[in-house]
Amino acid sequence: MRLFIGGNKGFVLYEDEEITTLSEESILCLKKLSLGSVFAGTDSGKVLSWDGNGDARVLAKDLGDEVHSLESASDGKIFAGSMPARGWLSRDKGESWSELTSFVTAPNSESWTAPWGVPLTSTIAGHPKDARTVYFGVEVGGIYRSRDGGKKFFDLGLPAADVHGAQVSPAKHERIYVSTSAGAFCSDDEGFNWRQMGVNNRRQYTMGLAAHPVEADRVIISAANGPPSSWKRSGAGCDVYLSTDAGRRFRTVAKDLKGGVQRKALVINPKVPSEIVFGTSTGDLHYSNDGGENFDRVFTKLGDIQAIAFA
């Protein structure tokens, strides 16, 4: 198993229990590109890139205070989201960036807020086929869609405003999944209507989310007792839930984890969908080779894992 892992211990390549450090920068998000390189967003507003040789190099230094989200479009453009809540676009593989000024003036943006005072662009979800359609999530502010590559954004009226993660289903493109502090949500019509998923799950502070690349109704999420700020004090009390009917029913496949699973630390291997991994805030790496039915802890002491990507 070969993974990129990012967190407070840096940006590393994990391969068969061997760790290679690519950067010592603290990482908040990762994005593996189709061309083979991987991008990383840092807690100092940088975007790093690694192409398979040497150490990661710095592509951008000043995309806000922190870079929380990265996404690539099907035409090669790259989006980034930061704290404060702003959106960025690169048309040249990350060498230069321009701000999406329409995002900060989107409908209801004046009401964006956060418990710590500064809202952030927590997630960006690209459309697998339509490069001009992209979804931006704001913590705290809801989910927004652009159909013109970021020139205009529209508030999709998600019932919960504290958005953590989002993904367009690779197998059913009109479906989008969203994780929030008040549970997980699904839309089957590109965000016009929403239904809450897993209402009977015992934990609802939902962070990680991964949609199956082939089976449209298969989705896996993680949920804790409360926000990450409480995890060190009282333990995350985190569960991982699996659904095979688009979130109408879930079953628990990992329970009572002491460390929480961050919003980008639960991933399905797009090439081998039976492989699923998640990492915790206590540094544990868990692996499943049966589509998430069962997980084994395969590595420890990785720090506060913020993001994982299959290499």
Reported as a single tens digit per residue, the pLDDT across 254-298 is 999 999 999 999 999 999 999 999 999 999 999 999 999 999 999
pLDDT band at 34 (very low <50, low <70, confident <90, very high): confident
> What is the distance between the alpha carbons of residues 275 and 39, in angstroms, rounded to a whole number?
22
> What is the distance between the alpha carbons of residues 125 and 128, in angstroms, rounded to a whole number?
9
CB atoms within 10 A of CB 176: 26
> What is the distance between the alpha carbons of residues 95 and 49, in angstroms, rounded to a whole number?
10
Exposure string of 257-272, with b = 16+ CB inside 10 Å and e = fewer, is bebbbbbbbbbbbeee
In the chain, which ranges are continuous DSSP H helix?
A: 101-104, 231-234
CB atoms within 10 A of CB 81: 29
Reported as a single tens digit per residue, the pLDDT across 69-92 is 999 998 989 999 999 999 999 999
> What is the distance between the alpha carbons of residues 266 and 304, in angstroms, rounded to a whole number?
13
Q: What are phi and psi of 104, to 5 degrees?
A: -75, -10
Structural domains in the chain, sorted by start: 2-310 (2.130.10.10)
CA distances from residue 114 to 140, 143, 184, 267 in whole angstroms, order as listed: 5, 15, 19, 26
The one-letter amino acid at 38: V
Reported as a single tens digit per residue, the pLDDT across 167-214 is 999 999 999 999 999 999 999 999 999 999 999 999 999 999 999 999
pLDDT band at 154 (very low <50, low <70, confident <90, very high): very high
Identify any residues that bridge with 82 across adjacent strands, giving them in sequence order: 67, 86
